[in-house]
Amino acid sequence: IQYAFSFPDRLTLKGHRLDLFSQPLEFFEPDMEKFRCLAMAYEAIEKGGNMPCILNAANEIVNEGFRKGQCSFLKMGEIIDETMQKVAFDVTPSLDVYLQTDAEARRIASELMGN
C-alpha cells in the first residue's frame, strides 16, 4: 500500500516490518456500500457478457488519470460506475464486440474524467 501511495517514489520504512505471524488475522464480510468498487466488480462478474470488459477499461483509464493527477481518488469509482451504465451491454459478445466495448468504455471514461 505504501508503494502504491508513494509511486513513483519510494518512501523509507519507519518502524518495524509487518509480521503477519505475530498476531491473529481476522476477516470480515466487506461493506459493499463503503467499498463500492468491490461491489461493482461483483456486479460485473454476475452480469457477465462484456460488463467485466467495460469495468476493466474504465478502471485502466481512471487509474492512469489518478496517477497523472487528472482524477481524484474518490472520483474514480463514480466514473467507473457511470461508464458501466453508459456503455452498450452485450450478453454474448464476439471478439469484435469486445474490442468495440473496450474502445467505447475508454472513450466514455476519458470524457467523464474531463479529457
Q: Which cell goes with 105?
A: 468504455
Is 13 a residue whose pLDDT tops 80? no
pLDDT at residue number 64 = 97
Fold of 31-113: Rna Polymerase Sigma Factor; Chain: A (1.10.1740)
Could you report the per-residue pLDDT of 37-76, keeping only the tens digit for each?
Answer: 999 999 999 999 999 999 999 999 999 999 999 999 999 9
Domain boundaries, the chain: 31-113
User: pTM (2 decimals)?
Assistant: 0.78
Confidence of residue 114 (pLDDT cuts 50, 70, 90): very high
3-class DSSP state of 3: helix
pLDDT grade for 115, boundaries at 50, 70 and 90:
confident
d(CA 61, CA 41): 16
CB 47 within 8 A of CB 96: no
